[in-house]
Protein backbone atom coordinates (compact mmCIF):
# COMPACT_ATOMS: atom_id res chain seq x y z
CA UNK A 1 0.00 0.00 0.00
CA UNK A 2 1.40 3.40 -1.06
CA UNK A 3 0.86 6.09 1.59
CA UNK A 4 0.20 9.60 0.24
CA UNK A 5 0.08 12.99 1.96
CA UNK A 6 -1.86 15.67 0.04
CA UNK A 7 -0.86 19.30 0.58
CA UNK A 8 -3.07 22.11 -0.77
CA UNK A 9 -4.63 25.23 0.70
CA UNK A 10 -7.88 24.57 -1.19
CA UNK A 11 -10.32 22.25 0.59
CA UNK A 12 -11.87 21.47 -2.79
CA UNK A 13 -8.51 20.40 -4.21
CA UNK A 14 -7.65 18.33 -1.13
CA UNK A 15 -10.99 16.52 -1.30
CA UNK A 16 -10.87 16.07 -5.08
CA UNK A 17 -7.33 14.73 -5.14
CA UNK A 18 -8.05 12.47 -2.19
CA UNK A 19 -11.11 11.08 -3.94
CA UNK A 20 -9.21 10.44 -7.15
CA UNK A 21 -6.22 8.79 -5.52
CA UNK A 22 -8.37 6.65 -3.24
CA UNK A 23 -10.07 5.00 -6.22
CA UNK A 24 -6.91 2.94 -6.70
CA UNK A 25 -6.71 0.00 -4.28
CA UNK A 26 -2.92 0.24 -4.07
CA UNK A 27 -2.92 3.82 -2.77
CA UNK A 28 -4.07 5.20 0.60
CA UNK A 29 -4.29 8.87 1.57
CA UNK A 30 -2.85 8.98 5.08
CA UNK A 31 -3.39 12.69 5.61
CA UNK A 32 -3.84 16.18 4.22
CA UNK A 33 -2.26 19.54 4.99
CA UNK A 34 -3.49 23.09 4.34
CA UNK A 35 -0.09 24.77 4.11
CA UNK A 36 3.60 24.07 3.97
CA UNK A 37 4.13 24.25 7.72
CA UNK A 38 1.52 21.55 8.31
CA UNK A 39 3.09 19.54 5.53
CA UNK A 40 6.52 19.56 7.18
CA UNK A 41 5.01 18.42 10.48
CA UNK A 42 2.85 15.70 8.95
CA UNK A 43 5.68 14.27 6.82
CA UNK A 44 7.59 13.72 10.08
CA UNK A 45 4.57 12.22 11.89
CA UNK A 46 2.89 10.16 9.15
CA UNK A 47 5.98 9.10 7.18
CA UNK A 48 4.22 8.97 3.78
CA UNK A 49 5.77 7.25 0.77
CA UNK A 50 5.06 10.29 -1.42
CA UNK A 51 3.73 13.85 -1.08
CA UNK A 52 1.67 15.90 -3.55
CA UNK A 53 2.56 19.54 -2.94
CA UNK A 54 0.73 22.69 -4.05
CA UNK A 55 2.98 25.59 -5.04
CA UNK A 56 1.13 28.64 -3.68
CA UNK A 57 -0.07 28.39 -0.06
CA UNK A 58 -0.35 30.67 2.99
CA UNK A 59 1.89 30.47 6.10
CA UNK A 60 4.56 28.52 4.16
CA UNK A 61 4.55 27.97 0.40
CA UNK A 62 5.41 24.76 -1.41
CA UNK A 63 9.01 25.75 -2.15
CA UNK A 64 9.87 26.49 1.48
CA UNK A 65 8.09 23.34 2.63
CA UNK A 66 10.06 21.31 0.09
CA UNK A 67 13.35 22.71 1.41
CA UNK A 68 12.47 21.70 4.98
CA UNK A 69 11.25 18.25 3.96
CA UNK A 70 14.35 17.48 1.93
CA UNK A 71 16.59 18.65 4.79
CA UNK A 72 14.78 16.80 7.60
CA UNK A 73 12.77 13.88 6.22
CA UNK A 74 13.51 13.36 2.51
CA UNK A 75 10.57 11.82 0.66
CA UNK A 76 9.52 11.88 -3.01
CA UNK A 77 7.44 15.00 -3.73
CA UNK A 78 5.16 15.64 -6.72
CA UNK A 79 4.42 19.33 -7.26
CA UNK A 80 0.87 20.32 -8.30
CA UNK A 81 1.17 23.39 -10.51
CA UNK A 82 -1.07 25.69 -12.54
CA UNK A 83 -0.42 26.06 -16.25
CA UNK A 84 1.10 29.54 -16.17
CA UNK A 85 4.58 30.73 -17.06
CA UNK A 86 5.19 32.04 -13.54
CA UNK A 87 4.07 28.78 -11.94
CA UNK A 88 6.27 26.94 -14.43
CA UNK A 89 9.36 28.81 -13.22
CA UNK A 90 8.52 28.08 -9.58
CA UNK A 91 7.89 24.41 -10.37
CA UNK A 92 11.26 24.17 -12.11
CA UNK A 93 12.82 25.65 -8.96
CA UNK A 94 11.12 22.86 -7.01
CA UNK A 95 12.62 20.23 -9.31
CA UNK A 96 16.06 21.73 -8.65
CA UNK A 97 15.41 21.43 -4.91
CA UNK A 98 14.56 17.75 -5.08
CA UNK A 99 10.95 17.35 -6.20
CA UNK A 100 10.81 14.35 -8.53
CA UNK A 101 8.12 15.59 -10.91
CA UNK A 102 4.94 17.63 -11.24
CA UNK A 103 1.35 17.35 -12.36
CA UNK A 104 -0.46 20.31 -13.85
CA UNK A 105 -3.87 21.77 -13.16
CA UNK A 106 -5.74 24.32 -15.24
CA UNK A 107 -7.52 26.69 -12.89
CA UNK A 108 -9.46 28.34 -15.74
CA UNK A 109 -11.52 25.18 -16.23
CA UNK A 110 -10.86 23.25 -13.04
CA UNK A 111 -13.98 21.07 -12.97
CA UNK A 112 -13.04 19.50 -16.32
CA UNK A 113 -9.25 19.45 -16.18
CA UNK A 114 -8.96 18.12 -12.64
CA UNK A 115 -10.60 14.92 -13.88
CA UNK A 116 -8.13 14.66 -16.75
CA UNK A 117 -5.14 14.50 -14.39
CA UNK A 118 -6.49 11.49 -12.46
CA UNK A 119 -4.87 8.73 -14.50
CA UNK A 120 -1.51 10.42 -14.88
CA UNK A 121 -1.48 11.40 -11.19
CA UNK A 122 -2.08 7.82 -10.09
CA UNK A 123 0.46 6.53 -12.60
CA UNK A 124 3.14 8.92 -11.36
CA UNK A 125 2.41 8.25 -7.70
CA UNK A 126 2.80 4.51 -8.22
CA UNK A 127 5.96 4.75 -10.31
CA UNK A 128 7.73 7.28 -8.10
CA UNK A 129 6.71 5.71 -4.76
CA UNK A 130 7.76 2.22 -5.85
CA UNK A 131 11.13 3.52 -6.93
CA UNK A 132 11.50 5.28 -3.60
CA UNK A 133 14.40 7.43 -4.80
CA UNK A 134 14.65 11.02 -3.64
CA UNK A 135 18.20 12.02 -4.59
CA UNK A 136 20.19 8.90 -3.80
CA UNK A 137 22.94 8.18 -6.33
CA UNK A 138 21.83 11.14 -8.45
CA UNK A 139 24.67 13.47 -9.46
CA UNK A 140 24.79 17.15 -8.61
CA UNK A 141 23.47 19.54 -11.24
CA UNK A 142 26.33 22.07 -11.22
CA UNK A 143 28.91 20.64 -13.61
CA UNK A 144 31.60 22.05 -15.84
CA UNK A 145 31.52 21.25 -19.56
CA UNK A 146 33.65 18.33 -20.65
CA UNK A 147 36.22 18.61 -23.45
CA UNK A 148 35.67 17.26 -26.93
CA UNK A 149 38.03 14.34 -27.66
CA UNK A 150 40.93 15.07 -29.96
CA UNK A 151 40.50 13.54 -33.41
CA UNK A 152 44.09 13.86 -34.60
CA UNK A 153 45.49 15.99 -37.38
CA UNK A 154 43.53 14.38 -40.18
CA UNK A 155 39.86 15.14 -40.76
CA UNK A 156 37.75 12.36 -39.30
CA UNK A 157 34.50 11.32 -40.97
CA UNK A 158 31.73 12.03 -38.48
CA UNK A 159 29.20 9.23 -38.47
CA UNK A 160 26.79 10.85 -36.02
CA UNK A 161 25.06 13.86 -37.53
CA UNK A 162 22.40 14.55 -34.90
CA UNK A 163 21.54 13.63 -31.30
CA UNK A 164 17.92 12.89 -30.30
CA UNK A 165 17.11 12.72 -26.57
CA UNK A 166 13.83 11.61 -25.02
CA UNK A 167 12.71 11.73 -21.39
CA UNK A 168 9.75 12.22 -19.06
CA UNK A 169 9.49 11.95 -15.24
CA UNK A 170 12.80 13.06 -13.73
CA UNK A 171 13.93 14.45 -17.07
CA UNK A 172 14.37 18.14 -16.21
CA UNK A 173 17.08 17.42 -13.66
CA UNK A 174 18.70 14.77 -15.85
CA UNK A 175 18.80 17.08 -18.88
CA UNK A 176 20.20 19.89 -16.78
CA UNK A 177 23.05 17.66 -15.67
CA UNK A 178 23.82 16.41 -19.18
CA UNK A 179 23.55 19.68 -21.11
CA UNK A 180 25.65 21.59 -18.56
CA UNK A 181 28.50 19.21 -19.41
CA UNK A 182 28.28 19.52 -23.21
CA UNK A 183 31.15 21.73 -24.50
CA UNK A 184 30.55 24.90 -26.50
CA UNK A 185 32.24 23.42 -29.58
CA UNK A 186 29.89 20.41 -29.74
CA UNK A 187 29.81 19.61 -33.48
CA UNK A 188 26.21 18.44 -34.11
CA UNK A 189 22.64 19.55 -33.25
CA UNK A 190 20.75 18.12 -30.26
CA UNK A 191 16.97 17.62 -30.41
CA UNK A 192 15.12 16.98 -27.14
CA UNK A 193 11.58 15.76 -26.42
CA UNK A 194 10.70 16.18 -22.73
CA UNK A 195 7.10 15.40 -21.79
CA UNK A 196 6.00 18.82 -20.55
CA UNK A 197 3.05 21.26 -20.95
CA UNK A 198 3.31 24.14 -23.40
CA UNK A 199 3.63 26.77 -20.65
CA UNK A 200 6.67 25.00 -19.22
CA UNK A 201 8.92 24.27 -22.21
CA UNK A 202 9.88 27.91 -22.87
CA UNK A 203 10.98 28.67 -19.28
CA UNK A 204 12.67 25.26 -19.14
CA UNK A 205 14.71 26.00 -22.27
CA UNK A 206 15.68 29.42 -20.88
CA UNK A 207 16.87 27.84 -17.65
CA UNK A 208 18.95 25.24 -19.44
CA UNK A 209 20.46 27.94 -21.66
CA UNK A 210 21.63 29.88 -18.60
CA UNK A 211 23.34 26.79 -17.18
CA UNK A 212 24.92 25.43 -20.37
CA UNK A 213 27.93 26.36 -22.49
CA UNK A 214 25.97 25.50 -25.64
CA UNK A 215 22.89 27.40 -26.76
CA UNK A 216 19.61 25.86 -25.60
CA UNK A 217 16.31 27.14 -26.98
CA UNK A 218 12.67 26.21 -27.43
CA UNK A 219 12.37 25.00 -31.02
CA UNK A 220 10.39 26.99 -33.59
CA UNK A 221 8.66 25.64 -36.67
CA UNK A 222 10.71 26.19 -39.82
CA UNK A 223 14.01 27.19 -38.20
CA UNK A 224 17.18 25.43 -39.38
CA UNK A 225 18.94 23.04 -37.03
CA UNK A 226 22.42 24.20 -36.09
CA UNK A 227 25.42 22.38 -34.70
CA UNK A 228 26.13 23.03 -31.06
CA UNK A 229 22.52 24.04 -30.33
CA UNK A 230 20.05 22.03 -28.24
CA UNK A 231 16.42 22.42 -29.36
CA UNK A 232 13.68 21.71 -26.79
CA UNK A 233 10.42 20.50 -28.33
CA UNK A 234 7.59 22.92 -27.43
CA UNK A 235 4.73 21.40 -25.47
CA UNK A 236 2.12 22.52 -28.01
CA UNK A 237 2.64 19.44 -30.17
CA UNK A 238 5.37 17.22 -31.62
CA UNK A 239 8.80 18.04 -33.04
CA UNK A 240 10.46 16.52 -36.08
CA UNK A 241 12.78 17.52 -38.90
CA UNK A 242 12.53 17.91 -42.66
CA UNK A 243 14.89 18.83 -45.51
CA UNK A 244 14.57 21.90 -47.71
CA UNK A 245 17.94 21.40 -49.33
CA UNK A 246 20.47 18.58 -49.14
CA UNK A 247 22.53 20.65 -46.72
CA UNK A 248 19.70 22.34 -44.77
CA UNK A 249 17.54 20.59 -42.17
CA UNK A 250 14.56 22.41 -40.70
CA UNK A 251 12.58 21.94 -37.48
CA UNK A 252 8.92 20.97 -37.86
CA UNK A 253 6.33 21.43 -35.12
CA UNK A 254 3.03 19.64 -35.70
CA UNK A 255 -0.18 19.72 -33.67
CA UNK A 256 -1.20 16.69 -31.68
CA UNK A 257 -3.61 14.59 -33.77
CA UNK A 258 -4.04 11.78 -31.26
CA UNK A 259 -1.52 9.43 -32.90
CA UNK A 260 0.88 9.60 -29.98
CA UNK A 261 -0.03 9.21 -26.30
CA UNK A 262 2.63 11.53 -24.93
CA UNK A 263 3.39 15.12 -25.91
CA UNK A 264 5.89 16.05 -27.19
CA UNK A 265 6.41 12.54 -28.56
CA UNK A 266 9.87 10.99 -28.30
CA UNK A 267 8.97 8.35 -30.90
CA UNK A 268 7.94 10.95 -33.48
CA UNK A 269 11.13 12.95 -32.91
CA UNK A 270 13.38 9.93 -33.32
CA UNK A 271 11.51 8.42 -36.29
CA UNK A 272 11.66 11.78 -38.06
CA UNK A 273 15.39 12.11 -37.35
CA UNK A 274 16.04 8.63 -38.74
CA UNK A 275 14.13 9.45 -41.92
CA UNK A 276 16.52 12.25 -42.81
CA UNK A 277 19.73 11.20 -41.06
CA UNK A 278 19.42 7.40 -41.43
CA UNK A 279 22.48 5.79 -39.81
CA UNK A 280 23.77 9.09 -38.39
CA UNK A 281 21.43 9.40 -35.39
CA UNK A 282 22.48 9.00 -31.77
CA UNK A 283 19.38 8.19 -29.71
CA UNK A 284 19.37 8.71 -25.93
CA UNK A 285 16.58 7.60 -23.60
CA UNK A 286 16.51 8.95 -20.05
CA UNK A 287 14.31 8.46 -16.99
CA UNK A 288 10.55 8.44 -17.56
CA UNK A 289 7.21 6.67 -17.35
CA UNK A 290 5.94 4.35 -20.05
CA UNK A 291 7.68 3.26 -23.24
CA UNK A 292 7.70 6.36 -25.44
CA UNK A 293 10.87 6.28 -27.53
CA UNK A 294 11.21 2.51 -27.81
CA UNK A 295 9.94 2.52 -31.41
CA UNK A 296 12.23 5.38 -32.34
CA UNK A 297 15.27 3.81 -30.68
CA UNK A 298 14.60 0.52 -32.47
CA UNK A 299 14.50 2.28 -35.82
CA UNK A 300 17.69 4.21 -35.01
CA UNK A 301 19.48 0.95 -34.26
CA UNK A 302 18.02 -0.83 -37.31
CA UNK A 303 19.29 1.94 -39.59
CA UNK A 304 22.83 1.81 -38.20
CA UNK A 305 22.71 4.59 -35.63
CA UNK A 306 23.75 4.39 -31.97
CA UNK A 307 21.57 4.08 -28.87
CA UNK A 308 22.15 4.92 -25.20
CA UNK A 309 19.78 4.19 -22.29
CA UNK A 310 20.07 5.52 -18.74
CA UNK A 311 20.67 2.73 -16.23
CA UNK A 312 18.17 1.85 -13.53
CA UNK A 313 20.42 3.00 -10.70
CA UNK A 314 20.02 6.72 -11.53
CA UNK A 315 16.52 6.81 -13.05
CA UNK A 316 13.78 8.52 -11.06
CA UNK A 317 11.42 6.17 -12.90
CA UNK A 318 12.86 3.22 -14.79
CA UNK A 319 10.17 2.98 -17.45
CA UNK A 320 11.28 4.39 -20.80
CA UNK A 321 14.87 3.13 -20.50
CA UNK A 322 13.62 -0.25 -19.26
CA UNK A 323 11.51 -0.70 -22.41
CA UNK A 324 14.60 -0.05 -24.55
CA UNK A 325 16.92 -2.27 -22.52
CA UNK A 326 14.48 -5.19 -22.35
CA UNK A 327 13.94 -4.97 -26.11
CA UNK A 328 17.68 -5.42 -26.58
CA UNK A 329 18.12 -2.22 -28.57
CA UNK A 330 20.47 -0.29 -26.25
CA UNK A 331 24.06 -0.22 -27.48
CA UNK A 332 25.12 1.33 -24.18
CA UNK A 333 23.49 1.37 -20.72
CA UNK A 334 25.02 4.06 -18.52
CA UNK A 335 24.30 5.96 -15.28
CA UNK A 336 23.35 9.61 -15.65
CA UNK A 337 26.79 10.85 -14.61
CA UNK A 338 28.38 9.09 -17.60
CA UNK A 339 25.88 9.93 -20.33
CA UNK A 340 27.28 13.34 -21.31
CA UNK A 341 30.67 11.71 -21.82
CA UNK A 342 29.10 8.91 -23.87
CA UNK A 343 27.36 11.48 -26.09
CA UNK A 344 30.57 13.46 -26.61
CA UNK A 345 32.61 10.37 -27.42
CA UNK A 346 29.98 9.17 -29.90
CA UNK A 347 30.24 12.21 -32.16
Residues 29-62 pLDDT 10s:
999 999 999 999 999 999 999 999 998 899 999 9
Residue of 8, 195, 272, 294 marked catalytic = 195
Closest CA to 301 of 318, 322, 278: 278
Residue 193 near residue 236, CB atoms below 8 Å: no
| CATH fold for domain 2-131 | Rossmann fold (3.40.50)
Q: Which of 104, 168, 180, 272 is catalytic?
A: 168
Q: What is the rounded CA–CA span in Å between residue 261 and residue 268?
A: 11
Rounded to an integer, what distance in angstroms lies between the CA atom of residue 256 and that of residue 60?
38
Q: Which of 311 and 13 is assigned the larger pLDDT? A: 311
Residue among 49, 87, 101, 292 flagged as catalytic:
292
CATH architecture, range 162-346: 3-Layer(aba) Sandwich (3.40)
Distance CA 340, CA 252 (A): 26
Query: What H or E segment, with its residue span, contains residue 302?
Result: helix 294-302
Domains 2-131 and 162-346 share a fold: yes
Residue 93 falls in the annotated catalytic set: no
DSSP-assigned beta bridge partners for residue 318: 288
Mean pLDDT value across residues 202-209: 95
- Domain definitions of the chain by residue range: 2-131, 162-346
* Whether 292 is catalytic: yes
pLDDT tens digit sequence for 84-135? 667 788 889 999 898 998 887 765 555 555 666 788 889 899 988 887 666 4
Q: Is the dihedral of CA 228, 347, 268, 109 positive or negative?
A: negative
Task: Name the residue with higher pLDDT: 259 or 205.
Answer: 205
Amino acid sequence: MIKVLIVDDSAFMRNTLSGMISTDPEIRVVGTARNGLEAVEKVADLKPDIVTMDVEMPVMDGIEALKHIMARNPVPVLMVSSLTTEDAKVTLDALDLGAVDFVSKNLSDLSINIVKIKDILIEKIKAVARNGRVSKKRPDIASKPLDMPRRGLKTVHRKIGIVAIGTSTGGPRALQHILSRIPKDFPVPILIAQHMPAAFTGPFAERLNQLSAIEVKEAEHGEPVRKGVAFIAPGIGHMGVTRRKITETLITISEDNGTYIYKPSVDMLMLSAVEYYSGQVLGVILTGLGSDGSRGMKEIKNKGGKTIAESKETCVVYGMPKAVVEAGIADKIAPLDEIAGEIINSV
